[in-house]
Structure 1
Amino acid sequence: MPWWTGLPLLLGLAAIQAIQLPRLQRYNGMLRPALRWGLAGLLAAGFRAFDNHGLGLTLTALAALAGFTLLVLLESWQDHKPQRSAAAAAASPEWSELAQAPIGPSGTLIELQAPDWITLDSAATKVLGDVAMLDARSCIVGAAARIDNIELKVSVAPGRRWLAWPMAAWRGVVLYDRADGKLYRLRSWQLYGWHAGEAWLSRSEEQPPLALSHVLGQDQRDE
C-alpha cells in the first residue's frame, strides 16, 4: 500500500474536529488520540517511503513540525471556543426559531395612585358621608362598622369602594370593603397606592408593592 493511504482518513478526522458536529462531540476523547497517532503513523510511513534517505528525514521532521503545530492549534481553538452541547441546543431555541415565534401579549404598565390621607374631623366626615369619628382612636362607617385602634387619617380608593386607615402608631393598615362589608387588619403592611380600585401594599422601601389580593393569599399560605 502507498504511504499516503491514511492521509484521507486523517484529513477527515481533522475536518470532523473542526466542524464540531453536536452528535459527534461525545467522541472527542477518541478523535484527539486518533489524530495524534494517525499523524505519527503517516510520518513514519512517509519516512520509510524514502528508504531511510537523509532527505526523507529532513522532510519528515518538517512535516512533523508543521503537522503537530496545526494539531495543537486545532485543539487549543476547540478548548477555548464556546461550545453548545446537544442538551443546551435542545433546551434553548435558535435565533431563527425565535424570529419566527409568535409575539406574545405586551406587558401591562401599572401606575399606582399615591394615597391621599384625609384627617378625620368634622369637616372631613361631611365630605366622606358615612364615616364618623368616635374618639381619638376610633371611627364608624355606616351604622355598624366600627374601626378601632387607628390613626384618624383615612384614604379613599378611586371609585370609593375601599377605605384605608393606618393602625395606631402606623404599625399596619386597616382596609374596609364597603361593597361586601369586610374588614381587613394587616400588621406590618402600609398602603403604598391604589390601582384599578385595589389597594397596593408594601412592607419596606426595599420591597416592591403587592396587590391586596396577593397579600391576602400570601398571609393565608403563611398561616
Structure 2
Amino acid sequence: MARRHWPALNIVLPALAWIVLLALLPWWLGLPLLLALVAVLLLLQHRLTVEHLPWCRRGLRWGLPGVLFALQRALGGDAFAWGAALLGALVGYTLLAGLEAWLDRNRRGVPLPAGMNSSTSAEWPELAMAPIGPAAEIIELQPPLWQLAVDEFADPRGNSVSFLDGTYRFADGGRIDGAGPYVGFSPTGRWLAFRTADDRRLVLWDRERNQRHYLRGWQLCGWYREQPWLIRRDDDMPLALPAVLGRDDEG
C-alpha cells in the first residue's frame, strides 16, 4: 500500500521542502533563485532533459509562495504585508501562466514521447485550454415539402403513387387507408409523412423498415440526415423521432 503512494510523495515532499526553504530565507535571496529558474527555462529550454524540465517548472510554481511568505514576514506580517503578498501572488502567477504558455507554443499537437500519456505529463495550461465535452454539431433541417395528393403523383424512389378516397396505392401493390390528402416525402423517399383523414395524428412511415409511427399532437418540422424532426408548437425546439418515441439510444 505504501508503494502505491510513493510517486506522489516523491513530488510533494521536495515541493514542500522547497517552499519551506524559500520561506525561511530572506526574500532578496529567494527571489534571485526563482529568476535563475526563469532564465534557465528561457535560455536553456532545449538543453534540458524531459525529466529536468518539469522540475524547473514546479520549482517556479511551488517556490513563489515561499518567497511571498518571506516578503510578508520582512514587511512586518501585518495587514499591509499580507496584502502585498497576495498582490504579488496575483501578478506572479499571471506572469507564470504567460511564461508556460510561451514555452509550450511549439509543443501543441506534438505527439508525446513513448511511455508518457496525457494524464501524467500534461501541464495545467494545456488542461485549462482543452475543449470540454463532445464537439458541437450544427443541425440544419431541410423543410418538409407538402403536396396535395390529387389522383396520381411522383414517388422519389420511382414509379408513382395514386390517391383516391383516403387511400394511397403504390406501384408494388401496397396501400394505406384512412389518410389525409397532404403528403410529404423525405429527400430520398425513405420516409412518407401524412396526416390521418380526421387530421388528429401525424403518420410517419419508414419504408425501409416498414414501420409506421402514429403521433398525436406533433408536427413535422423538417428532415436531417434522412430522419424526421418534430415539434409540438411553432416556437418549440425540434426533436428527432427517437427522442419523441423515448428511444434516444437509437440515434
How far apart in 2 are the matches of 1:199 and 1:112?
A: 9
Query: Are 1:199 and 2:228 an aligned pair?
Result: yes
Deviations 1:121-165 (A, max 9, x none): 33xx35453342334xxx3344554353x5421012223232101
Deviations 1:65-108 (A, max 9, x none): xxx9898545424347775999xx9xxxx66554658xxxx987
Residue of structure 1 equivalent to 2:60: 21
Deviation at 1:10, TM superposition (A): 2.6
Instruction: Give TM-score, length-normalised by structure 2.
Output: 0.46
Deviation at 1:185, TM superposition (A): 1.7
Could you tell me which of 89, 95, 101 is aligned with 1:78?
A: 89
Gaps of 5+ in 2: 1-24, 39-58, 112-134
Residue 69 of structure 2 contacts residue 85 of structure 2 at CA under 8 Å; is this kept in 1? no
Could you tell me which of 188, 194, 209 is aligned with 1:165?
A: 194
Residue of structure 1 equivalent to 2:168: 140
Amino acid at match of 2:168: I
Partner SS state of residue 113, structure 1: coil
Partner SS state of residue 21, structure 1: helix
Residue of structure 1 equivalent to 2:20: none
Identity within the alignment, %: 23
Q: Which is richer in helix?
A: 1
Query: Are 1:209 and 2:238 an aligned pair?
Result: yes
Aligned Cα root-mean-square deviation (Å): 4.8
Amino acid at match of 1:11: W
Partner SS state of residue 115, structure 1: coil
How far apart in 2 are the matches of 1:85 and 1:168?
A: 71
Amino acid at match of 2:73: W
Instruction: Give TM-score, length-normalised by structure 1.
Output: 0.50
Amino acid at match of 1:9: P
Residue 13 of structure 1 contacts residue 35 of structure 1 at CA under 8 Å; is this kept in 2? no
Query: Are 1:37 and 2:67 an aligned pair?
Result: no
How far apart in 2 are the matches of 1:35 and 1:181?
A: 78
Residue of structure 1 equivalent to 2:28: 11
Q: Which has the larger radius of gyration?
A: 1
Residue 231 of structure 2 contacts residue 239 of structure 2 at CA under 8 Å; is this kept in 1? yes
Cα gap change, 1:117 to 1:221, in 2 (>3 Å): closer
Equivalent residue runs for 1:177-192 within 5 Å? 177-192=206-221
Partner SS state of residue 247, structure 2: helix
Cα gap change, 1:166 to 1:84, in 2 (>3 Å): farther
Gaps of 5+ in 1: 1-7, 41-67
**Count of aligned residue pairs for this structure pair:** 169
